Amino acid sequence: MTESSNPSPEDLDAVATELNQTAEQSGLSADQYRRKMQRRQEVQQQRLAERHQEKGLIIVHTGNGKGKTTAALGMVMRSLGHGYRVAIMQFIKGAWEPAEKAVLERWADQITFQAMGEGFTWDTQDRERDTETAQQAWTVALQYLHNPDYRLVLLDEVNVALKHGFLTIDQVLAGLAEKPEMTHVILTGRGAPTDLIEAADLVTEMALVKHPFREQGVKAQPGIEF
């Protein structure tokens, strides 16, 4: 790429990645590192200048690793910090009384929190009841999804409800298609279906590398799991 060229966003992304990789190499002199970082700064400024669109995002957190809901709650905190209204619908873990709810209730004027699930599927052991509960939760969730007063809607563990067939992907995609333009929606839970991933704007897969429950027999602990 020449200095006089008009690079595409994809070209700039590739240059940024290459500069990051080369800057991490050992053996660079201080001057070489400084020049690479100067170029990296220039590329980043170009990347930011090219990207000025805003839209409500469909965000999926999936995978077998821990942290899907935790990461989503970080976005919830950011939204609250900006003064936005947030709605949280919990599809599966409703039998728990999470510490997060106790904290978030301090922003009661900005946040709506509803736990509709009756627990994990191996606790309820009743597919028909789980389906009915998930469908009721989805009916309520649609009210939040279609309300422009909510800037962020978190559908916690909805992917699990999809995986088990308690909800259909068609009804979820139809609901997402009708959300206000600037509303962000986060869908968490392992086993996100392919059609949902394709429809999403941002997808993160949490990979399980190690877990103390499996490797060490350590039980779920307050402040970490709940």
pLDDT, tens digit, for every residue of 158-207?
999 999 999 999 999 999 999 999 999 999 999 999 999 999 999 999 99
193 and 128 in one domain?
Answer: yes
> Do residue 105 and residue 205 come from a single domain?
yes
Is residue 226 assigned to a domain?
no
Decide which of 17, 32, 50 is a domain's last residue: 50
**Tens digits of per-residue pLDDT, 77-118?**
999 999 999 999 998 865 456 688 888 889 999 999 988 865
The rounded distance, in Å, linking the Cα atoms of 225 and 223 is 6
- Please state, in angstroms and rounded to a whole number, the distance separating the CA atoms of residues 32 and 29: 5
Return the pLDDT at 115.
Answer: 84
Contact yes or no for 152/77 (Cβ under 8 A): no
Residue 220 within a domain: no
Q: Of residues 36, 66, 163, 190, which has the active-site annotation?
A: 66
Q: Judge if 46 and 147 occupy the same domain.
A: no
For residue 32, the enclosing domain spans 9-50
Asked whether the CA dihedral 70, 152, 147, 145 is positive or negative, the reply is: negative
Residues 62 and 46 both lie in one domain: no
d(C-alpha 113, C-alpha 106), whole Å? 12
For CA atoms 200, 206, 207, 213, the dihedral sign is: negative
Q: Using 50, 70 and 90 to split pLDDT, how confident is the model at 2? A: very low
**Of 19, 72, 14, the residue nearest 41 (C-alpha):** 19
122 classed as catalytic: yes
- Tell me, yes or no, whether 73 lies in a domain: yes
Q: Which is higher by pLDDT, 1 or 147?
A: 147
Residue 20 has pLDDT above 80, yes or no: no
Structural domain contains residue 221: no
CATH number at residue 77: 3.40.50.300
35 included as an active-site residue? no
Q: Which of 40, 120, 124, 163 is catalytic?
A: 120
Same structural domain, 85 and 184: yes
Active-site pick, 22, 36, 40, 70? 70
pLDDT over 70 at 125, yes or no: no
Biggest CA pair distance of the chain: 67
The Cα–Cα gap between 61 and 187 comes to 6
Task: Verify whether residue 157 is a known catalytic residue.
Answer: yes
Q: Is residue 223 part of a domain?
A: no
Residue 114, in any domain of the structure: yes
Residues 32 and 141 in one domain: no
Global pTM reads 0.79
Distance CA 168, CA 144 (A): 19
Answer yes or no: do 39 and 116 share one domain: no
70 is catalytic: yes
Q: Which of 2, 122, 128, 194 is catalytic?
A: 122
Q: Are residues 201 and 168 in the same domain?
A: yes
Are 22 and 107 in the same domain?
no
Kindly report which listed range (6-10, 44-48, 113-117, 144-148) carries the lowest average pLDDT score. Answer: 6-10
Residues 62, 68, 91, 93: which is the catalytic one? 68
| Residues 43 and 71 reside in one and the same domain | no
Average model confidence (pLDDT) across the chain: 86
Q: Tell whether 3 is covered by a domain.
A: no
Task: Let me know whether 37 and 139 are in one domain.
Answer: no
Structural domain count, the chain: 2
Same domain, 189 and 81: yes
127: in domain: yes
Average pLDDT over residues 5-10: 70
What is the pLDDT at residue 120? 53
State CA 132 to chain mean position distance. 25
Annotation marks residue 96 as catalytic: no
SS3 for 90?
strand
